[in-house]
């Protein structure tokens, strides 16, 4: 009987541990070229059990192979006018522009992403600076994601001198 109880306890423990590591997708964005509206990638956002939001970002731009692009979250989720309708960088903490995870940076300062020889890149970031809760100052839902044609110098205020807006997506809640 003790053997059955031990097996049952082990099974229940394993099931709870599996649930504890689950990620729940809360938002996503499809990224499109501002020039021709063709798909260039996607971003998926997951609520983690530790309160953080994780973003998995994929970019696929063969025409930009072996180059680096800058990515930022912008204030508005409107990709019209070649991405200009997203307005400025999203900065709910009113900090200077900077490099991700430095002493001071915008919550949407994702930074430079190196594309490989096929124009592809994948990155993953987790942070407590983002939320998917309606009304929260850190809410990312409805924000724009801009892919810039240049690199971020992490110094020029407030943009990082990142070049033209070559890609755009809107962060939308996953229902």
Averages of pLDDT over each 10 residues, the chain, 175 residues: 46 48 91 97 97 97 97 97 96 92 90 97 96 94 97 93 97 94
Whole-model pTM over 0.95: no
Token look-up 């049952």 returns 8
Q: Half-sphere exposure of 149 toward its Cβ, with a 13 Å CA cutoff?
A: 10
d(CA 98, CA 152): 9
Whole-number pLDDT of residue 71: 98
Q: Which domains does the chain have, with CATH numbers?
A: 23-173 (2.60.40.200)
Whole-number pLDDT of residue 16: 46
Contacts of 147 (CB under 8 A, 6+ apart): 31, 40, 41, 59, 61, 69, 70, 71, 165, 166, 167, 168
Whole-number pLDDT of residue 20: 53
Whole-number pLDDT of residue 21: 55
Which helix (H) or strand (E) segment holds residue 84: the answer is: none
Q: CA separation (Å) from 151 to 96, 155, 173?
A: 17, 11, 29
**Dihedral angle computed from the Cα positions of residues 6, 11, 13 and 19, in that order, rounded to the nearest 10 degrees:** 180
Whole-number pLDDT of residue 101: 86
């Amino acid at each position: 009987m003790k053997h059955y109880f031990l097996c049952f306890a082990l099974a229940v423990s394993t099931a709870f541990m599996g649930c504890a590591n689950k990620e729940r997708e809360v938002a996503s964005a499809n990224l499109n070229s501002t020039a021709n509206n063709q798909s260039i990638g996607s971003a998926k956002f997951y609520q983690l059990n530790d309160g953080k939001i994780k973003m998995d970002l994929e970019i696929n731009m063969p025409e930009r192979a072996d180059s680096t692009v800058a990515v930022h979250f912008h204030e508005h989720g409107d990709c019209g006018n070649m991405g200009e309708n997203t307005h400025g960088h999203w900065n709910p903490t009113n900090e200077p522009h900077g490099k991700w995870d430095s002493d001071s940076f915008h919550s949407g300062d994702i930074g430079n992403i190196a594309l490989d020889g096929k124009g592809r890149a994948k990155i993953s970031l987790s942070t407590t600076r983002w939320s998917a809760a309606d009304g929260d100052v850190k809410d990312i839902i409805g924000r724009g994601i801009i892919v810039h044609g240049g690199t971020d110098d992490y110094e020029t205020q407030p943009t990082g001198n990142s070049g033209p807006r070559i890609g755009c997506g809107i962060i939308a809640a996953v229902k």
